């Protein structure tokens, strides 16, 4: 079924995540056409030396994966480990909910109450509920807490996801969409350009 889907609809990206699939089943899914892992480590069985699960399969395969680099969902040492193994197959994401860029307080997520405090969004039972991470903060975290350099970090939020989605973004090239974000040494956003037009200036 999956191999037929990938053949007939190559623009659809099949991704695995939020699952307790075994290492063997996960590797099998890659052979069927699954080529990405969502929110690596989160809402999936943890890596175990006898049962490596999805995490082990992803680290052992030539597939892309994304991670929430907010230092809440993933420990700095975990970010370091994955970026060393996956290299240009790592994509940084935010998984931000509607409370992103808002003050601490109570917000709604699909009809459920979420408390946001100190950069962390949780349900009433303490379960993580997305994040309030900003992309420039994800870059800062990777530069400050891992051995990833600036070029590698920027690649993980520009060219890597653009290539995965097969869209003309992520590079400053002729024929590509002129969507550009300019930040300073502190990763504060100074300019945002969309389709060649200045949309934001700090």
Q: Report, as residue numbers or ranges, the catalytic residues.
A: 95
Could you write out the three-class secondary structure of the chain?
A: CHHHHHHHCCCCCCEECCCCCCHHHHHHHHHHCCCEECCCCCCCCCCCCCCCHHHHHHHCCCCEEEEECCCCCCCHHHHHHHHHHHHHHEEEECCECCCCCCCCEEEEECCEEEEEECCEEEECCCCECCECCCHHHHHHHHHHHCCCCHHHHHHHHCHHHHHHHCCCCCCCCCCCCCCEEEECCCCCEEEEEECCEEEEEC
| Cα distance from N-terminal residue to C-terminal residue, the chain | 50
Helices 135-145 and 76-86: angle between axes, nearest 10 degrees: 90
Choose among 62, 14, 12, 70: nearest CA to 41.
70
């Amino acid at each position: 079924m999956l191999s037929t889907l990938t053949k007939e609809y190559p623009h659809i990206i099949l991704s695995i995540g939020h699952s307790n699939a075994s290492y063997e089943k996960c590797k099998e899914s890659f052979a069927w056409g699954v080529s990405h892992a969502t929110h690596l480590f989160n809402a999936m069985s943890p890596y175990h030396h006898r049962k490596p699960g999805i995490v082990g399969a992803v680290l052992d395969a030539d597939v892309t994966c994304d991670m929430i680099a907010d230092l809440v969902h993933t420990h700095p040492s975990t970010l370091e480990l994955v970026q060393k193994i996956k290299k240009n197959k790592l994509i940084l994401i935010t998984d931000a909910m509607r409370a992103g860029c808002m003050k601490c307080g109570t917000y709604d997520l699909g009809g459920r109450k979420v408390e946001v405090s100190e950069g962390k969004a949780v349900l009433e039972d303490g379960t993580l509920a997305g994040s309030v991470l900003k992309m420039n903060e994800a870059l800062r975290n990777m530069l400050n807490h891992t051995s990833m350099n600036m070029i590698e970090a920027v690649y993980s939020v520009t060219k890597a996801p653009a290539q995965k989605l097969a869209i003309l973004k992520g590079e400053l090239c002729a024929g590509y969409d002129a969507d550009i974000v300019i930040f300073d040494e502190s990763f504060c956003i100074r300019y945002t350009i969309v389709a060649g037009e200045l949309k934001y200036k700090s």
